[in-house]
Structure 1
Amino acid sequence: MTITSSRKPCVLLTSNQYKPNIGGIENSLYHLSQEYIQLGYEVIIVASDLNPENKSLPDVEVEDGVTIYRYKTGRDQGIGRGIKHIRNAISLYKTVLKKHDPVLAVCRFHFNVVYLKALGYQNLVYLVPGVVENETKASLRQQSTILGKVKGSLSFSLHKLMQRWAFSCSDKLFVFSENMLQQVRKINKDKAIRTCKPGVSLSRFSLVSRSEKHQLREQLGVADNGKVFLCIGRFVKAKGFDTAIEALQLLDGDATLWLLGEGAEEKELRALCNRLNVDDKVKFLGRQSCPEEYYKAADFFIMSSTYEPLGQTILEALSCGLPIVGACASDKVITATSEILSDTNNILLDAHSAESFAEGMNTFMALEDSDYAELQQQNRALAEQKFSWNKLARELASED
Structure 2
Amino acid sequence: MKVLHFHFGKDGGAERFFVHLLNGFAERGVEQKVIIRPDRTWKPLIDGSVEVMESHFRTFSLDRLMLPLRVSALIRQWKPDCVFGWMPKGAKLVPANPEPLRLVRLGDYPTTLSKFRNIDTVVCNTPGIARHVREMGWKRGVEVISNFTSMERVAPFDRATLDTPRDAFLIASMGRFVPRKGFDVLVRALALRPDAYLWLIGNGEQEANLRDLASQLNVLERVRFLGWRKDPRPYVAASNCFAMASSHEPLGNVVLEAWAQSVPVVSTRSEGPAWFMRDGENGLLVDIGDHEGFAAGFARIEKEDGLAGKIIDGGLQTLQTTFSREAVVQAYLDLFASRATGAAGGNIKSPPAPRP
Residue 89 of structure 1: which of 42, 67, 82 is its match?
67
**Structure 1 CA distance for aligned equivalents of residues 39 and 104 of structure 2:** 21
Q: Which amino acid aligns with 1:106?
A: F
Asked whether the 8 Å contact 1:49–1:73 carries over to 2, the reply is no
2:6 counterpart residue number:
14
Residue 23 of structure 1: which of 12, 20, 26 is its match?
12
Alignment length (residue pairs)? 335
1:39 counterpart residue number:
28
Deviations 1:187-238 (A, max 9, x none): 23534422221111112xx277xxxx5x732466655421111110000011
What is the CA distance between 1:72 and its match in structure 2? 4.7
Q: Quote the sequence identity (%).
A: 22
Residue 111 of structure 1: which of 69, 89, 103 is its match?
89
Residue 80 of structure 2: which of 81, 102, 107 is its match?
102
Does residue 382 (structure 1) correspond to residue 315 (structure 2)? The answer is no
Using structure 2 for the length normalisation, give the TM-score: 0.84
1:142 counterpart residue number:
none
Gaps of 5+ in 2: 344-356
Query: Relative to 1, partners in 2 of residues 1:259 and 1:49: Cα closer, same or farther, differing over 3 Å?
Result: same
Deviations 1:73-94 (A, max 9, x none): 57xxxx533xx24223313312
Q: How does 1:258-297 map to 2 (within 5 A)?
A: 258-297=199-238
**Structure 2 CA distance for aligned equivalents of residues 132 and 265 of structure 1:** 24
Query: Relative to 1, partners in 2 of residues 1:304 and 1:325: Cα closer, same or farther, differing over 3 Å?
Result: same
Gaps of 5+ in 1: 1-8, 134-159, 330-334
Q: Which amino acid aligns with 1:110?
A: P
2:169 counterpart residue number:
227
Asked whether the 8 Å contact 2:154–2:233 carries over to 1, the reply is no
Higher percent of residues as helix: 1
Asked whether the 8 Å contact 1:71–1:88 carries over to 2, the reply is no
Q: Which amino acid aligns with 1:70?
A: E
Asked whether the 8 Å contact 1:303–1:326 carries over to 2, the reply is yes
What is the CA distance between 1:128 and its match in structure 2? 0.5
Q: Which amino acid aligns with 2:303?
A: A
1:341 counterpart residue number:
277
What is the CA distance between 1:123 and its match in structure 2? 0.5
**Structure 1 CA distance for aligned equivalents of residues 229 and 176 of structure 2:** 12
1:129 counterpart residue number:
107
Q: Which amino acid aligns with 1:175?
A: C
**Structure 2 CA distance for aligned equivalents of residues 395 and 185 of structure 1:** 21
1:254 counterpart residue number:
195
Asked whether the 8 Å contact 2:22–2:46 carries over to 1, the reply is no
Deviations 1:163-203 (A, max 9, x none): x1244532111111123223333323534422221111112
Asked whether the 8 Å contact 2:36–2:56 carries over to 1, the reply is no
What is the CA distance between 1:374 and its match in structure 2? 3.8
Using structure 1 for the length normalisation, give the TM-score: 0.76
RMSD: 2.8
Asked whether the 8 Å contact 1:113–1:166 carries over to 2, the reply is yes
Q: Which amino acid aligns with 1:338?
A: A
Deviations 1:327-357 (A, max 9, x none): 224xxxxx21111112724111245321222
Asked whether the 8 Å contact 1:125–1:171 carries over to 2, the reply is yes
Q: Which amino acid aligns with 2:309?
A: A
1:80 counterpart residue number:
60
1:395 counterpart residue number:
331
Asked whether the 8 Å contact 2:85–2:93 carries over to 1, the reply is no
Asked whether the 8 Å contact 1:32–1:390 carries over to 2, the reply is no
**Structure 2 CA distance for aligned equivalents of residues 304 and 63 of structure 1:** 32
Does residue 67 (structure 1) correspond to residue 59 (structure 2)? The answer is no
Q: How does 1:157-176 map to 2 (within 5 A)?
A: 160=112, 164-176=113-125
Asked whether the 8 Å contact 1:71–1:92 carries over to 2, the reply is no
2:60 is paired with a residue whose SS is helix
**Structure 2 CA distance for aligned equivalents of residues 62 and 387 of structure 1:** 21
1:48 counterpart residue number:
37
Does residue 202 (structure 1) correspond to residue 139 (structure 2)? The answer is no
What is the CA distance between 1:131 and its match in structure 2? 2.5
Query: Relative to 1, partners in 2 of residues 1:121 and 1:85: Cα closer, same or farther, differing over 3 Å?
Result: farther
